[in-house]
């Protein structure tokens, strides 16, 4: 069974504990045939430090719940007002804004519950909670910038914004895997940087794909950022490709500095960035 299938099965089992419309909306939003890159990053990071799949899956699934919860809120009419997510209608269009908002809260609470059931000592659990909550703050800060249409003109500002949104979840995933495995503080910092660089490179790919590919392939509307500055607008297609390659190289460099060999994460760089073919 592929890792993505194992993640899917665990997600499904975690959602089987409840019934009702909110749970149905959660299942609709979470369960899809996606790549599950963020939980996969966590699992591969933990694997590098000798942590079993059984012990890392609860935290990987919890992070996917947090990710999906953030997407549900981002898609709301008061936020990005999106109508397509993961190749189907957004949660609020199917279940209404009230249920969508409750579903987001439900998923973050479920993530906490599953994490509390995991097999780690108190110090590791506290570190994981801190990592997750800091990520949530970063996501909120990034969405505030997006929501208030804060003017972003330079590539440095764009990269910082992408770091707060996409990069922060990849960064947390890599770090939590290291925390589970008892990684040193030096390794944790390099894992965070690795996740950040990979996440930003991934977002660059998303922007390039948004510019070059039809919506049917991407699973959401293209041209959604037409009124916002993106790397493609600032640097052009070729320039954005070059900078994206730089973030990819930086991610590999971060892994090379680890005290442990992380072959699974190195392979993951290629897999994640191959998502956007253009």
Closest Cα to residue 191, out of 204, 172, 163, 165?
A: 172
Task: Read off the pLDDT band of 150 (50, 70, 90).
Answer: low
Task: Read off the pLDDT band of 149 (50, 70, 90).
Answer: low
Look at the alpha carbons of 95, 97, 103, 104 in this order and tell me if their dihedral is positive or negative. Answer: positive
b/e 100-134 (16+ beta carbons within 10 angstroms → b): bbbbbebbbebbeebbeebebeeebbebbeebbee
Rounded average pLDDT over 219-247 = 81
Task: Read off the pLDDT band of 278 (50, 70, 90).
Answer: low
Q: What is the pLDDT of residue 118?
A: 86
- Residue 140: left (phi > 0), alpha (psi -120 to 50), or beta? alpha
In terms of pLDDT, which residue wins out, 213 or 133?
Answer: 133
Task: Read off the pLDDT band of 212 (50, 70, 90).
Answer: confident
**End-to-end Cα separation, the chain, in angstroms:** 29
Please give the DSSP secondary-structure letter assigned to residue 16.
T
Q: What is the pLDDT of residue 58?
A: 97
Residue ranges of domains in the chain, CATH in brackets: 3-273 (1.10.600.10)
Task: Tell me the whole-structure pTM to 2 decimals.
Answer: 0.94
Tell me the pLDDT tens digit for each residue of 116-130: 988 899 999 999 999
Tell me the pLDDT tens digit for each residue of 225-236: 556 788 998 999
- For residue 88, what is the enclosing H or E element? strand 88-89
Tell me the pLDDT tens digit for each residue of 151-197: 677 899 999 999 999 999 999 999 999 999 999 999 999 999 999 99
Tell me the pLDDT tens digit for each residue of 58-100: 999 999 999 999 999 999 999 999 999 988 999 999 999 999 9
Mean predicted lDDT score pLDDT of the chain: 93
CB 266 within 8 A of CB 255: yes
Three-class secondary structure of residue 33 per DSSP? coil
Spell out the residues 6+ positions from residue 73 whose beta carbon is closer than 8 angstroms to its own: 79, 101, 104, 143
Tokens of 149: 């249409």
Say yes or no to pLDDT of 33 above 60.
yes
Closest Cα to residue 4, out of 40, 31, 30, 28?
A: 40
């Amino acid at each position: 069974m592929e890792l993505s299938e194992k993640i899917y099965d665990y997600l499904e089992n975690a959602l089987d504990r409840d019934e009702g419309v909110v749970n149905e909306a959660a299942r609709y939003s979470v369960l899809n045939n996606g790549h599950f890159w963020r939980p996969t990053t966590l699992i591969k990071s933990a694997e590098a430090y000798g942590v079993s799949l059984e012990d890392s899956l609860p935290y990987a699934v919890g992070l996917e719940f947090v990710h999906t919860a953030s997407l549900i809120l981002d898609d709301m009419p008061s936020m990005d007002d999106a109508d397509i997510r993961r190749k189907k209608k957004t949660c609020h269009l199917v279940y209404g804004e009230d249920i969508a908002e409750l579903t987001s809260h439900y998923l973050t609470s479920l993530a906490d519950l599953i994490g509390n059931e995991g097999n780690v000592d108190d110090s590791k659990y506290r570190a994981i909670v801190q990592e997750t909550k800091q990520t949530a703050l970063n996501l909120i800060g990034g969405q505030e910038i997006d929501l208030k249409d804060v003017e972003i003109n330079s590539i440095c500002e764009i990269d910082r914004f992408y770091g707060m949104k996409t990069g922060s979840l990849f960064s947390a995933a890599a770090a939590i895997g290291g925390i589970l495995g008892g990684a040193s503080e030096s390794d944790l910092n390099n894992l965070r940087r690795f996740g950040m660089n990979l996440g930003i490179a991934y977002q660059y790919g998303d922007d390039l794909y948004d510019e070059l590919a039809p919506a049917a392939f991407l699973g959401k509307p293209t041209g959604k950022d037409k009124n916002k500055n993106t790397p493609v607008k600032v640097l052009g297609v070729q320039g954005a490709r070059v900078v994206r390659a730089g973030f990819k190289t930086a991610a590999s460099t971060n892994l090379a500095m680890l005290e442990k060999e992380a072959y699974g994460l190195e392979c993951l760089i290629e897999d994640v960035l191959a998502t956007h073919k253009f």
